[in-house]
């Protein structure tokens, strides 16, 4: 198995589980936040829906400067819009990774904010940590938000308390 194949296998699993959580995000709670310093539910859900785009950026560029990028619209319009956004970004991420080679993953990719370098690692590490790790982290936050709203939480790595 190549490195690309291994990461693609992991990506497929995490994207499937992420979609389950996003599908549970209801209409009517977009502005809800568990704490004043927390991101509102709708914005967090849209952030999760757009995170797969980082995989595509990482695999189609050598360097990425956030100051030169029009940030995605993180406004929650509806559950349908949320899933359409995620599905589009997930499909692009999967295609970008499937077309990559292990040599592509060995190349260094730089993420910066102007002159400030945030990361300068192999693409493989960036895809695993900044893309998948980031996605998993915020997906888990969404699960907590759903629980705090007393809404059903889909199981991710097994059944949730709502599915037993």
The gap from C-alpha 145 to its chain's centroid, in whole angstroms, comes to: 17
Contact indicator for 122, 105 with CB cutoff of 8 Å: yes
Q: Name the residue range of residue 20's domain.
A: 3-148
Closest CA to 46 of 80, 93, 97, 94: 80
The number of distinct structural domains making up the chain is: 1
- 159 within some domain: no
- 160 within some domain: no
- 138 within some domain: yes
Task: Express each pLDDT in 26-56 by its tens digit.
Answer: 999 999 999 999 999 999 999 999 999 999 9
pLDDT attached to residue 80 = 98
pLDDT attached to residue 164 = 78
- 164 within some domain: no
Contact indicator for 131, 55 with CB cutoff of 8 Å: yes
The CATH number of residue 127's host domain is 1.20.120.450
Q: Are strands 116-122 and 108-113 parallel, antiparallel or unpaired?
A: antiparallel
pTM across the whole model: 0.94
Section 130-143 average pLDDT: 96
pLDDT attached to residue 7 = 97
**Mean pLDDT for the chain overall:** 95
Q: Where are the beta strands (DSSP E) in the chain?
A: 63-65, 108-113, 116-122
Contact indicator for 51, 142 with CB cutoff of 8 Å: no
């Amino acid at each position: 198995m190549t490195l690309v194949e291994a990461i693609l296998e992991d990506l497929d699993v995490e994207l499937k589980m992420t979609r389950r959580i996003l599908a549970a995000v209801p209409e009517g709670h977009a502005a809800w936040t568990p704490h004043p310093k927390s991101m509102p539910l709708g914005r967090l859900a849209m952030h999760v829906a757009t995170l797969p785009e980082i995989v595509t950026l990482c695999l189609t560029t050598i360097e990425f400067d956030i100051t030169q990028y029009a940030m995605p619209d993180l406004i929650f319009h509806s559950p349908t819009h949320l899933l359409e956004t995620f599905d589009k970004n997930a499909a692009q991420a999967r295609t970008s990774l499937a077309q990559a080679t292990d040599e592509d993953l060995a190349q260094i990719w730089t993420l910066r904010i102007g002159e400030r370098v945030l990361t300068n690692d192999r693409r493989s590490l960036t895809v695993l940590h900044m893309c998948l790790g980031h996605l998993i982290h915020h997906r888990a936050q969404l699960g907590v938000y759903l629980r705090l709203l007393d809404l059903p939480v889909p199981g991710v790595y097994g059944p949730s308390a709502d599915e037993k």
